[in-house]
Amino acid sequence: MNPLVLRLRQFTDLSSAGETSIARLFRASARSVERNADLVVEGEQALYAHVILEGWAARYKTLRDGRQQISALFIAGDLFGLHTRLVRELDHSVRAITPVQVARISPDDVNRLMDRHPRLAKGLLWQQLVLNAIERTWLVNLGQRTAYERVAHLFCEMLLRLKAAGLAGEDWCEFPLTQTELAQATGISTVHVNRVLQRLRAGRLIELESNILKVRDLKGLRKAALFDPSYLHLGARSR
């Protein structure tokens, strides 16, 4: 099943014509990107919308002195750059965290798709809104939460998102970030990430080994993170 379709169904029913259009579009434009390669890079002209079909990717920005911050993680079914053609140049890059399959969609195709399938168009906009809400929540994490809370929060979030995408078990999921990447996502140093992980393990909240995250005490983890999932908008479907 197409991961974007799967995702949009959480928002609304799609017409089967709409679903077919998506599937056709993706088959035509899918390509693979290897780990650590960029899907799009800062400063480039922003030509295409992208949908992740498989794997994880990260949106990030680099400061002049080399510091990097990851501002979003994308998993299968995530869409980014929907209206990106409206800006002259990108303010961020996106790189593959794992090997990635991604579909690249031209503005024309986006427009055609959205014109012909209004419900689908709403779904795509909804997706963007949810991803914006996630980014906003990350911002709050960086501003207000401690290192410990941030890492716990990220684990809660990714488990839920992956579950919603049908990519996780009840209490475990893939988690392919290295500690360095985890540091770039949470705005703390690599060394400190390591120490925080130890604390989470010692508190019997999680296990994390060879890219598998196992949550041993979800309630405890949520509490540690002050996690409130409403920003993910996963509940019942709306209109």
Partner DNA sequence: CGTCCCCTTGAATGAAGTCAATACGCGTGG
Partner DNA sequence: CCACGCGTATTGACTTCATTCAAGGGGACG
Binding site for a copy of itself (CB under 8 A): 43, 59, 61, 63-65, 67-69, 71, 83-84, 86-89, 91-92, 122, 125-126, 128-130, 132-133, 135-140, 142-145, 184, 186-187, 226, 228, 230-231, 233, 235, 238
Nearer to DNA, 4 or 94 (CB): 94
146 binds, among a copy of itself, DNA, none (CB under 5 to 8 A by kind): DNA
Query: What is the dihedral sign for C-alpha 81, 86, 89, 92?
Result: negative
Q: Which of a copy of itself, DNA, none has residue 197 at its interface (CB below 5 to 8 Å by kind)?
A: DNA
CB of residue 80 to DNA, shortest distance in Å: 23
Of 116, 119, 136, 195, the one binding DNA (CB under 7 A) is 195
Q: Are 181 and 58 in contact (CB under 8 A)?
A: yes
Token code pair at residue 153: 């929060």
Nearer to DNA, 28 or 191 (CB): 191
- Specify burial of residue 121 (Cβ count, 10 A radius: 0-12, 13-18, 19+): middle
Site string for DNA, 143-182 (x = CB under 7 A): ---xxx-----------------------------xxx--
* Nearest to a copy of itself of 53, 196 (CB atom): 196
Distance of alpha carbon 105 from the chain centroid? 18
Q: Which two tokens stand for residue 114?
A: 């959205």
C-alpha distances in Å from residue 96, one per residue of 14, 41, 181: 29, 12, 11
User: Rg of the chain over CA atoms, in angstroms?
Assistant: 18
Q: Hunting for tokens 């399938």 — which residue is that?
A: 117
The option from DNA, a copy of itself, none interacting with 86 (CB < 5 to 8 A, set by class) reads a copy of itself
Question: What is d(CA 153, CA 223) in angstroms, rounded to the nearest whole number?
Answer: 9
Phi-psi bin for 199: left (phi > 0), alpha (psi -120 to 50), beta? alpha
Which of 122/192 has CB closer to DNA?
Answer: 192
Task: Take residue 216 and report the two structure tokens written for it.
Answer: 């041993």
Q: How far is the CB of 145 from DNA (least distance, A)?
A: 8
Summarize as ranges the residues that interact with DNA (CB under 7 A). Answer: 146-148, 178-180, 187-192, 194-195, 197-198
